[in-house]
Amino acid sequence: MIIVMKADASPEQISKVAEQVENIGLKPHVIKGSERTVIAVVGDEQDATVSAMETVPGVARVLPILAPYKVASREVQQEQTVVTVGPLAVGGGNVGVIAGPCSVESREQILDSARAVFASGAAGLRGGAFKPRTSPYSFQGLKEEGLKLLAEARAETGQAVVTEVVSPEDVDLVARYADVLQIGARNMQNYRLLEAVGQCDKAVLLKRGPAATVDEMLLAAEYILDGGNRQVMLCERGIRTFESHTRFTLPLATVPWLQARTHLPVVVDPSHGTGHAALVPSMAAAAVAAGADGLIIEVHPDPQNAASDGGQTLDFIAFEKTMAMCRRVAEAVGRQLN
């Protein structure tokens, strides 16, 4: 923490702040500048007491220096984590692709989707069985029946099954069928759920909340890692901004920024990130060029009749073309895509 004193803070006020820092067992470094004094406290950045010092007389403001994540940090583990589940490899130069419909709707729909996206290069199959929906009146998913259909698709294609879990009590059930548990954007800070998947032996795909900072996303990952589960993938899926021509704003600079700070692989979701099928191919290619370790893309046999998210979903032909383009871009930046 850096405690910035007011320009007119008295010597007594400065001494008192330094003393308070010492009282909580941290070491104050008092630095007198030409215009004002700052007190640097290098130690436990989590200390709520230092942060509360903003209310002490003479203090102008308190600035944190360091982000408080630890286990997720590159400084703790230099080598990148590679998440490998069946044919799906995310990280280590591999661009792992997960594709499939927003929701599992029927046996035929999911099997057709699995075959088509697998043929185009997706080693992972996505499909929602438990759907968190903004409105209580929208389709809420097939639940366990949907999980069974996903497992049936895997039996045929061998793909890794990626599906969302929305509540701690469902973790065991979903983990029985799925290979990768997805934590949706709305649940990024549902700490009970993070703790539950942290104690599970399945890989986790953690989506960024639309208003979450990158530090908050890393701290959410920290909850999972702290529980003992080290197979965590981060997923950039767009943030809320003033832009309304896209559903969210997809900030790809997150990819290299995160990769410099964490060993966890970074996946990009251009479907939710844009909300419009017409923008997905370009943004998938852009994500690969930015260095993404994986992609997750919504694909459906008939997007116009999808039960959810049809407007942002590719059909099989558009997905095949997108994969071909992404494969060439991956090679151009020294990576490989199935």
- Pick out residues in 123-142 that bind its own copies (CB under 8 A): 132-139
The DSSP secondary structure of 22-76, one letter per residue, reads HHTT--EEEEE-SS-EEEEE-S-TT-HHHHGGGGSTTEEEEE--S----TTBTTT
Does residue 317 belong to the site contacting its own copies (CB under 8 A)?
no
Residue 215, class by beta-carbon neighbours within 10 Å (0-12 exposed, 13-18 middle, 19+ buried)? middle
Among the candidate windows 106-114, 153-161, 171-179, 309-317, which touches its own copies by CB under 8 A? Answer: 309-317
In contact, 266 and 255? CB cutoff 8 Å: yes
In contact, 334 and 289? CB cutoff 8 Å: no
- Sheet with 28-32: list strands edge to edge: 28-32, 37-41, 2-5, 59-63
Does residue 295 belong to the site contacting its own copies (CB under 8 A)?
no
Q: Which of 119, 155, 278, 317 binds its own copies (CB under 8 A)?
A: 278
Nearer to its own copies, 6 or 230 (CB): 6
157 three-class SS = helix
Q: For residue 273, which amino acid is it?
A: G
Structure tokens at 191: 């700490």
Nearer to its own copies, 48 or 201 (CB): 48
Nearer to its own copies, 107 or 213 (CB): 213
Footprint of its own copies on 106-125 (CB under 8 A): none
Q: If we measure between CA atoms, which residue out of 162, 161, 201, 165 comes closest to residue 183?
A: 165
Does residue 290 belong to the site contacting its own copies (CB under 8 A)?
yes
Does residue 72 belong to the site contacting its own copies (CB under 8 A)?
no
Q: Which of 19, 93, 145, 211 binds its own copies (CB under 8 A)?
A: 211
Instruction: Name residue, tokens 């699995």.
Output: 114
Footprint of its own copies on 1-30 (CB under 8 A): 2, 4, 6-8, 20, 29
In contact, 238 and 210? CB cutoff 8 Å: yes
Task: Work out how close the CB of 133 gets to its own copies at its nearest, in angstroms, rounded to a whole number.
Answer: 7
Q: Which of 14, 18, 21, 62 binds its own copies (CB under 8 A)?
A: 62
Footprint of its own copies on 218-237 (CB under 8 A): 219, 222-223, 226
Does residue 255 belong to the site contacting its own copies (CB under 8 A)?
yes
Helical pair 107-120 and 316-332, crossing angle rounded to 10 deg: 30
Task: Work out how close the CB of 192 gets to its own copies at its nearest, in angstroms, rounded to a whole number.
Answer: 4
Q: For residue 301, which amino acid is it?
A: P
Task: Work out how close the CB of 155 gets to its own copies at its nearest, in angstroms, rounded to a whole number.
Answer: 29
Q: Which of 22, 63, 172, 321 binds its own copies (CB under 8 A)?
A: 63
Does residue 273 belong to the site contacting its own copies (CB under 8 A)?
yes
CA-to-CA separations, 208 to 68, 110, 176, 235, 244, in angstroms, rounded: 17, 26, 25, 6, 19
Does residue 155 belong to the site contacting its own copies (CB under 8 A)?
no
Structure tokens at 338: 């199935």
Q: Which of 22, 213, 321, 336 binds its own copies (CB under 8 A)?
A: 213
Report how far residue 306's alpha carbon sits from residue 320's, in angstroms, rounded to the nearest whole number: 19
Does residue 257 belong to the site contacting its own copies (CB under 8 A)?
yes
For its own copies, how many residues bind (rule: CB under 8 A)? 111
Task: Work out how close the CB of 191 gets to its own copies at its nearest, in angstroms, rounded to a whole number.
Answer: 5
Among the candidate windows 116-124, 152-160, 228-236, 283-291, which touches its own copies by CB under 8 A? Answer: 283-291
Strand pairing class (124-126; 83-85): unpaired
Q: Which of 107, 176, 240, 321 binds its own copies (CB under 8 A)?
A: 240
Alpha helices in 7-74 (DSSP H): 11-23, 48-51
Does residue 80 belong to the site contacting its own copies (CB under 8 A)?
no
**Residues paired with 69 in a beta bridge:** none
Does residue 287 belong to the site contacting its own copies (CB under 8 A)?
yes
